[in-house]
Structures are given as structure tokens and as C-alpha cells.
Amino acid sequence: MSGRLLVSGVGVVSALGASSQAFRDALLAGASGVAPVTAFDVSGCRTRIGAPVTGFEPTSWIAPMKLRRMDDTARYAVVVTRQAFEDAGVAFVPEGDDRAGIVLGTFTAGGQATSEYLTALHRGGPMGAPAVLFNSTVANAPASLAGLEFKLRGPNVTISQKEASGLAAIVTAVDALRLGRGRVIAAGGVDAIFDIFFRVHDRFGVMSPAEPSAVRGPFDRDRAGFVLGEGGYALLIEEAASVVARGGTHYGEILGVSAESSAVGINDWPMAPDALVRTMRAALDDAGLSPADVHVVYAAANGTRLDAVEAEALGALFGAA
């Protein structure tokens, strides 16, 4: 098993800007990334808002000819991976690095390209299907393209567990590093808002129909659904010995992780807090900590009725406020 694991670099493309600095400054200023959706026609939708990426110019990072073969999620993946490595001061190895890898979570990767490819196929037959899109029709394309771009020849894994995908990617990366399967791994998530994906969620009525300025936050009693966002992030998780050896710095240390499950129906969510409590306890045990050692919790709460289950789980573990 490897030693301590540090977060030595961060990459961000988001609704609050296309760098970790812009994202941080916007958060500290109390800015909101929620805005009207303008990338496609939502005039007939119940919900017309999202959190689209802003300030992102992919040609500043990726050659135009390569961009043609990438959908939005792949572009985000390549950029946040590069940002994370550069932020940490870890150089890419020109001949390839067998000890560097990437683990990305995604809910949407492959969806937009598949939709466009199948639409063209059904309208124009096999000759009308754009071959340039085919590589992007699979969910593991973003991680694969980032690995190829930077010659990361270590673990290359894609996790798809809906909204939990990005966090699950971090757990997977930590496990791989602890098992000695790499020295450094970029872990995080990428997603994009696209027409069909947005309309399906709108049809189910699970998104907030409010205007951007009226969206209620997590745990608010007047919450009315979530807001679909897009972008990507990557944490460069690295063995402490590697950081120390090059005289690098780090943002923090990953002490413990956990991934559990609950026996519920397909696409369902546990309506009791037991599984969530069990997961958090397992992470604390892994870190050798107690609930009293925790100073802040970042909840998954997404503005739906399931916030109540999460609030109950937090109360059960940490005590009611």
C-alpha cells in the first residue's frame, strides 16, 4: 500500500469561469452560475435555466484540428487535466508516463455525439453518418482522449453513476494509488448540457422552473428541483513522496474514502438515511477520525425532496443542529 495522498493540483472549467482561480473568486464574491439556457431552443420547456460554462475558449488549449474530433465533455477533460498537472508543477513525460493516469466520472459523456450520430444515420443512411463523431459516442472517450493527449499510460478509467460520478472517480483513483498502480492520477468529472438530455429531465419535471435570481438553494423548504450544470474539474492526487521530492506544495490530504450501496429500485434513491450514514461512517473509519473531528460537510443536496433524506443522515451522524 502507498503512503499519504495529497491534492497537489486543481483544474476547473465551470459556469463560474474556466480556471480554478476564476471559480474561487466567483464563489468568494457570492456569484451564481445559474443563467438562461441559450445553446438550444427551450421556449417550449417548463424549465429554461441551467448553469452553462462561461469564459471557456478551447482553442487556447487545444489545436483546432483536434477540436473537430472532440465533443464538449472531451474538451473539458483535456483542459482540466492539463490545468491540474500545470497547477501542481508536474511535467508531462514526452515519451509517456506509465505511473500517471486519469479517472473521470461522467453522467453525459457520449450522449450528445450519439444523438447527433444516430439522427444523421436515420436521416441519411450509413453514408450520411459523420464518422468524425463516432469516437465520441462512448462515455469513456473524454478520459481516453486526455490520456492520449498527454501520454498518461497508467490507469485510465471512466465512472458513470449519475450525479455521484465525479466523487466515485476520486474514490476509485485513491484506491488505485493505494494499491500502487500509479504515482499520480487526475481524478474528477466532466459533463455537458445538451438538447435531448435537458428535455428528458424537463419532461420528468425534476428541474427548477424558477428564474435564475429566484432559485432556492439546497435544504430550502421552497426548493423546486435541481439546475443542470456543465463543465469539468480535476484534482491531481499524488503520492506525498513525489510532491516532497520535487519541492512541491499541496492543497490538502485525502485521509479517507468510502463507497457503499443500497438495495432500491432502478433509478431510485433510498428513502431512509441508513445507507448514507453507513457510507460516511466508513469514510471516517478509513481516515481514523470521529464525527467530532469534522468541521464542514459539503452536501450533495440538489434541491429535490431527497434533500430531506440527506439532512436526516447528517443529523444522525453529526447531531441535529
Q: Tens of pLDDT along 26-45?
A: 999 999 999 999 999 999 99
Q: How confident is the model at residue 131 (pLDDT cuts 50, 70, 90)?
A: confident
The pLDDT score that the predictor gives to residue 61 is 93
Residue 257: closest CA among 162, 169, 161:
169
Length of the chain: 321
Helices (H), 4-160: 20-28, 64-67, 72-88, 111-124, 131-134, 141-150
Report whether pLDDT(293) > 60: yes
CA distances (Å), 235 to each of 30, 47, 156, in order? 23, 32, 15
Residue 173: closest CA among 252, 240, 238, 98:
238
Q: Is there a contact between 109 and 72 (Cβ–Cβ < 8 Å)?
A: no
Residue 232: closest CA among 8, 44, 82, 126:
82
Cα separation, 109 vs 36, in Å, equals: 22
Q: Is there a contact between 69 and 132 (Cβ–Cβ < 8 Å)?
A: yes
Q: What single DSSP character describes residue 278?
A: H
Residue 84: closest CA among 107, 54, 61, 59:
61
What cell does 100 get? 500517471
Cα separation, 117 vs 311, in Å, equals: 42
**CB environment 121-147: b (16+ within 10 A), e (fewer):** eeeeeeeebeeebebbbebbbbbbbbb
Cα separation, 236 vs 10, in Å, equals: 6
Q: How confident is the model at residue 68 (pLDDT cuts 50, 70, 90)?
A: confident
The pLDDT score that the predictor gives to residue 321 is 58
CA distances (Å), 109 to each of 20, 64, 77, 118, 192, in order? 22, 20, 10, 15, 7
Could you give the count of Cα atoms lying within 13 Å of 217 in the half-sphere of its Cβ?
Answer: 4
Report whether pLDDT(315) > 80: yes
The pLDDT score that the predictor gives to residue 175 is 96
The pLDDT score that the predictor gives to residue 48 is 97
Residue 34: closest CA among 156, 183, 198, 216:
216
The pLDDT score that the predictor gives to residue 2 is 58
The pLDDT score that the predictor gives to residue 223 is 87
Neighbours of 264 (CB within 10 A): 12
The pLDDT score that the predictor gives to residue 261 is 87
Taking the alpha carbons of 155, 66, 90, 238 in that order, is the dihedral positive or negative? negative
Report whether pLDDT(89) > 70: yes
Q: Is there a contact between 195 and 119 (Cβ–Cβ < 8 Å)?
A: no
Percent of the chain exceeding pLDDT 70 equals 99
Cα separation, 217 vs 225, in Å, equals: 9
Helix axes 141-150, 72-88, angle to 10 degrees: 40
